[in-house]
């Protein structure tokens, strides 16, 4: 007899799951027994991610599209409901880190896109899931935020500001949707993905040396935290943000590295700096 897994029978939507952290989250949730609906804009990449999930025995579907398009979010919810008859878990992972540079130069359209993708889409997808399933049956939401959301940094002001809004949205939704739905966020530090390649490719050693954990993050570090947060093991946790940053926030006290050197590296290597 197969042992019961923590998410057996539940259905999850993971946005931006064709690569990086989202793909690892989809993998973890599937490994814990969930049916998984994955999204991303590139249809080929979505198909590839779904094929990989199915190859390891997961029940997965994919819906290509842009989370900034509200019609796409309804389609995703509809497809998950048709396939699985439920939407227990929503992971808002897709994001953009544009526009780079000083806020005084921020292009208005790029700024609006950042908020459409990073803030509005998570709200709209939760609205879809709430109406389709969660308002009657409950569920769990995790928003993927960033360690940078609560402090200032050069050139990523638009990104950090939008993620700060996502942090607040997380708390607000947690208050509004309890007791049926729990809403939390995770805030990664530097993780080895495409989005952050321009940092770790040039400054991995310096950043790693400055962290109490001595290494940068891998997607699975974040995915495991998400898997736990959506499980019943976290049933008394809502409205909180879980830092998954290898100790980035506390690095000033680390004996293994020079925190200011890390900061200089990050500043130096951000495009536009």
Ligand X SMILES: NC(=O)c1ccc[n+]([C@@H]2O[C@H](COP(=O)([O-])OP(=O)(O)OC[C@H]3O[C@@H](n4cnc5c(N)ncnc54)[C@H](OP(=O)(O)O)[C@@H]3O)[C@@H](O)[C@H]2O)c1
Q: Which of 84, 100, 159, 268 is catalytic?
A: 159
- CB-wise, 88 or 120, nearer to ligand X? 120
Q: Does 39 bind ligand X (CB under 6 A)?
A: yes
How many other CB atoms are found less than 10 A from the CB of residue 105?
Answer: 10
C-alpha span between 150 and 264 (Å, rounded): 19
Q: Does 5 bind ligand X (CB under 6 A)?
A: no
- CB-wise, 138 or 153, nearer to ligand X? 153
Q: Does 142 bind ligand X (CB under 6 A)?
A: no
- CB-wise, 8 or 218, nearer to ligand X? 218
- x/- map, 205-244, ligand X, by CB under 6 A: ----------------------------------------
Cis peptide before 259 (omega within 30 of 0): no
CB of 159 to ligand X, least distance (A): 7
CB of 144 to ligand X, least distance (A): 4
Q: Does 162 bind ligand X (CB under 6 A)?
A: no
CB of 120 to ligand X, least distance (A): 11
- CB-wise, 23 or 86, nearer to ligand X? 23
C-alpha distances out from residue 262 to 82, 205, 216, Å: 48, 9, 12
- CB-wise, 88 or 147, nearer to ligand X? 147
Burial of 119 (0-12, 13-18, 19+ CB in 10 A): buried
Q: Is 101 in a helix, a strand, or coil?
A: coil
DSSP, res 5: P
How many other CB atoms are found less than 10 A from the CB of residue 17?
Answer: 31
Q: Does 41 bind ligand X (CB under 6 A)?
A: yes
C-alpha span between 14 and 76 (Å, rounded): 10
Six token digits for residue 201: 């490719």
Which of 11, 13, 14, 18 touches ligand X (CB under 6 A)?
18
How many other CB atoms are found less than 10 A from the CB of residue 68?
Answer: 20
Q: Does 188 bind ligand X (CB under 6 A)?
A: yes
Q: Does 167 bind ligand X (CB under 6 A)?
A: no
Strand 11-14 relative to strand 89-92: parallel, antiparallel, unpaired? parallel
CB of 17 to ligand X, least distance (A): 6
Which of 13, 29, 40, 173 touches ligand X (CB under 6 A)?
40
C-alpha span between 270 and 273 (Å, rounded): 6
Phi, psi (deg, nearest 5) at residue 243 = -70, 125
Kindly identify the residues of this chain, within the stretch 108-137, that bind ligand X according to CB under 6 A.
117
Active site residue 159: yes
94 neighbors 39 (Cβ within 8 angstroms): yes
Active site residues: 159
Contacting residues toward ligand X, per CB under 6 A:
15-22, 39-42, 45, 66-68, 93-96, 117, 144, 146, 188, 190-191, 193-196
């Amino acid at each position: 007899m197969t042992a019961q897994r923590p998410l057996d029978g539940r259905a999850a939507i993971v946005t931006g799951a064709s690569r990086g952290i989202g793909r690892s989250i989809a993998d973890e949730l599937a490994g814990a027994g969930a049916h998984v609906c994955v999204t991303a804009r590139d249809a080929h990449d979505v198909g590839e991610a779904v094929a990989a999930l199915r190859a390891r025995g997961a029940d997965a579907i994919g819906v290509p599209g842009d989370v900034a398009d509200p019609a796409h979010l309804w389609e995703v919810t509809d497809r998950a409901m048709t396939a699985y008859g439920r939407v227990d878990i929503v992971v808002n992972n897709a994001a953009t880190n544009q526009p780079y540079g000083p806020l005084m130069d921020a292009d208005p359209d790029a700024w609006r896109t950042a908020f459409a993708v990073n803030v509005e889409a998570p709200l709209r997808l939760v609205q879809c899931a709430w109406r389709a399933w969660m308002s009657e049956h409950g569920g769990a939401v995790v928003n993927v935020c960033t360690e940078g959301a609560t402090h200032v940094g050069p050139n990523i002001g638009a990104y950090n500001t939008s993620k700060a809004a996502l942090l607040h949205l997380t708390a607000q939704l947690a208050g509004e949707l309890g007791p049926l739905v729990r809403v939390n966020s995770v805030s990664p530090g530097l993780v080895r993905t495409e989005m952050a390649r321009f940092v770790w490719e040039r400054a991995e050693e310096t950043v790693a040396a400055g962290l109490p954990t001595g290494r940068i993050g891998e997607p699975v570090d974040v995915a495991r935290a998400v898997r736990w947060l959506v499980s019943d093991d976290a049933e008394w946790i809502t409205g909180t943000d879980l830092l998954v940053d290898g100790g980035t926030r506390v690095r000033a006290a680390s004996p293994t590295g020079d925190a200011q050197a890390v900061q200089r590296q990050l500043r130096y290597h951000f495009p536009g700096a």
